[in-house]
Copies of this chain bind each other. A is one copy, B any other.
Amino acid sequence: MKKFVNDPADVLAEALRGIAAAYPDLRVDADNRVILRARPTRAGKVALVSGGGSGHEPLHGGFVGRGMLDAAAAGEVFTSPTPDQVLAATRAVDAGAGVLHIVKNYTGDVLNFEMAAELAAAEGVQVETVVVADDVAVQDSTWTAGRRGTGTTVILEKVVGALAEEGADLAAVAGLARRVAAAGRSMGVALSSCTVPAAGRPTFDLPDDEMEVGVGIHGEPGRSRVGLASAHEIARMLVDPIVHDVGEAVGPAIVMLSGLGGTPLIEQYLLYGEIAPLLAEAGVEVRRVLVGDYITSLDMAGASLTVVKADDEILRLWDAPVVTPGLRWGA
């Protein structure tokens, strides 16, 4: 295993130490493994809390900051955060207006956030929850009932974070979150496996001439394992299932092509060059684009495509200022 690590058991704690050192606008609660804004939540602002297993950086900790999340609970690599972690995050950021939990649809995440929400409610904190289940690849999966939650989470955190920053109340924030979650679709492809540091060997075997179409962000099996295809063919394997799933003209949209951690930007640019004309052909009017590493799977070579239908309100909120390690503009 060739990685920048010390003891594989310490990866999360040490990565959090690096985040704390690099970003003075953030604060790390090392005991609870929660990443927070350095400044406390403004009184009366709805707070956004997300989290999940680590290994998908910059998601979620790298999206904490003005205009996006208030806190993120970081589980061990590919492991849900505990209810205690989520509760600690929720308590720390509640400023009287309630807290939105943003949860990717994995069984452990859903259960632990649910338990934390109940504990927080018992303490008088109002909590609403949105579950992202946007991955069109498969219906159920290794750790998931229904669809897995992937890239739409990034766009949701940005858009809904902007609405919360404007002072909207919890019902409005949760309502928008559900609307964005319902408007998003994702599909990924792996050219290689990834290696969980504590395991020390690749999560799955993938021969040199094959790829996994519809892979999950933890290396869960996808729709099919097929021969290594050209970027042009791969673009179609990502675009078609998304467009087919929407089932009607998508119209205006925010699009994200995310590398999975081991794929450099030059390949992502090339792949996006193949994707863009296919989206246009399918009636997706791309209004905003992200290309880069936004939701990763450790060192996996591969990419995922996310398409979120976007009306004028969503686009306006997308353009609002954001200051986080992973997304920053307008301020």
By a beta-carbon cutoff of 8 Å, the part of chain A in contact with chain B is 2-6, 11, 14-23, 54-55, 57-58, 62, 77, 191-192, 208, 211, 228, 230-232, 234, 261-274, 276-277, 289, 291, 293, 296, 298-299, 301, 303, 323, 325, 328-331
Interface SS of A by simple majority: mixed
Tell me which of B3, B22, B264, B293 contacts A269 (CB under 8 A).
Answer: B22
User: Bound state CA distance, A277 and B267, in angstroms?
Assistant: 34
Instruction: List 21 A–B pairs whose Cβ atoms lie within 8 Å, in order of A's numbering.
Output: A2-B228, A2-B301, A4-B234, A4-B267, A5-B231, A6-B232, A6-B270, A14-B270, A18-B268, A18-B270, A19-B269, A21-B276, A57-B264, A57-B266, A261-B265, A262-B264, A263-B299, A265-B293, A267-B299, A323-B329, A328-B328
- Chain B residue numbers with a CB within 8 Å of A269 are 15-16, 18-19, 22, 57
User: Bound state CA distance, A268 and B272, in angstroms?
Assistant: 25
Tell me which of B5, B231, B323 contacts A14 (CB under 8 A).
Answer: B231
A191 and B270 in contact (CB under 8 A), knowing A262-B299, A291-B18, A293-B293?
no
Known: A11-B270, A264-B296, A264-B299. 5 other contacts (CB 8 A): A15-B269, A18-B274, A22-B289, A329-B331, A330-B331
- Chain B residue numbers with a CB within 8 Å of A303 are 4
- Chain B residue numbers with a CB within 8 Å of A299 are 262-264, 267, 301
A18 touches B273 (CB 8 A): yes
B4 touches A268 (CB 8 A): yes
Q: Smallest Cβ distance from A218 to chain B, in angstroms?
A: 14
B264 touches A261 (CB 8 A): yes
By beta carbon, the residue of chain B nearest A255 is B22
A211 touches B2 (CB 8 A): yes
User: Bound state CA distance, A62 and B292, in angstroms?
Assistant: 11
B228 touches A18 (CB 8 A): no
A291 and B11 in contact (CB under 8 A), knowing A3-B267, A4-B271, A6-B232?
no
